[in-house]
Structure 1
Amino acid sequence: MDNSQNYIGVPNGVVFCVDMVKKYVLEGRFYHAYSTEATEVSSLHDLCLKLELFFDELQYPYPGTDRRFFLDEKSKKEKPAEPWREAGLPGRTRIMSDDELLSKHGDLGTFILRVQHRQNSTWQGRITWVNENKTLQFRSVWELTKLIEEALDTVSEQED
């Protein structure tokens, strides 16, 4: 099998490993070059939240819009200076090579996520499904989650 699409290619590229899907909720972990430890995720929603903090910490890709707050001034809480630290994300020193990242695999599926832009309050980029050596573009977080779900549905159908 030709693995020409299996590369990281961007500073914020991650390898997302899916280990289990229960009642339409997936569990897994993702790896990035700045830590040897996996970041555990309990759903696609959790994945998106943790990746957003990761991108904020790297300041790449830089968001096209600022976060908006709809609270009055009295009830607005102080924003932590470094929210990614509270989430357990590390600094920007590269620790793992691309080859080490690509050696990580999930039980049900492995995906390489490359978010290239954060514009219009969403993400744009490419996703590679490593098991099938298939790369697709996505234009939003919603489209990204649909691509992951469709890939995992295909795996479930093959197992049935």
Structure 2
Amino acid sequence: MQNRIRSDPYRTTLVCIDSAQEGLLTGRVYHPYLPSGAEFKNLMQFLLIMEDLLDKLQFPQSFTAHRSFRMQPEPAPPLPSENEPHTGKIATFSVRVIFRQNASWQGSVTWLEKEKEENFRSVLELVLLMHSATSPEDTHNQAQTSA
């Protein structure tokens, strides 16, 4: 499964989670257009980095973006990817955004350490999937039983 995920590096973003204290995810994002990676300290930074990256790639195009027939500037060619694999201290995810519709993202996320893949229909669902993988099982189960 990992070969399939890593075989298309331009459509896949690697998300390395280094800390998940009290649900606050921090880590790094890697993509060929971000050769040295981008660090995030909270969920908002992660979402803004991803949205900016998708806008620069112009793929997938945002459903709500203004479109025209004018020539769009081509993104700069990516730098060669590093041979060193990146992994998070807590978890590593491969995120593939296929659509950006209804002001959200749709695609698939793979938890690389467990080789589990799930589809997501919104950014919220993506975040909840990542949270479920990085939160301790007993805390997650307590939250479900108290609801």
Offset, 1:8: 5.0
What are the within-5 Å matches in structure 2 for residues 77-116 of structure 1? 91-97=75-81, 100=83, 103-116=85-98
Q: 5+ unaligned residues in a row in structure 2: which ranges? A: 67-74, 140-147
Aligned-partner SS, 1:132: coil
Report the residue type matching 2:23 in the other structure. Y
TM-score by length of 1: 0.73
Offset, 1:3: 3.8
- Taking the aligned partners of 1:3 and 1:113, their CA distance within structure 2 comes to 12
- Taking the aligned partners of 2:83 and 2:138, their CA distance within structure 1 comes to 28
Partner of 2:70: none
Report the residue type matching 2:11 in the other structure. N
8 A Cα contact 2:5 2:12, kept in partner: no
- Taking the aligned partners of 2:115 and 2:93, their CA distance within structure 1 comes to 10
Q: 5+ unaligned residues in a row in structure 1: which ranges? A: 68-90
- Taking the aligned partners of 2:2 and 2:11, their CA distance within structure 1 comes to 20
Report the residue type matching 1:49 in the other structure. L
Partner of 1:46: 45
RMSD over aligned Cα atoms: 2.5
Alignment of 1:129 with 2:111, yes or no, is: yes
| Residue correspondences, number | 132
Offset, 1:52: 0.4
More strand as a share of residues: 2
What are the within-5 Å matches in structure 2 for residues 9-158 of structure 1? 9=8, 11-66=10-65, 91-97=75-81, 100=83, 103-154=85-136
Q: Which runs of 4+ in 1 moved over 2 A?
A: 2-12, 154-157
Partner of 1:87: none
- Taking the aligned partners of 1:27 and 1:110, their CA distance within structure 2 comes to 12
TM-score by length of 2: 0.78
Report the residue type matching 1:52 in the other structure. E
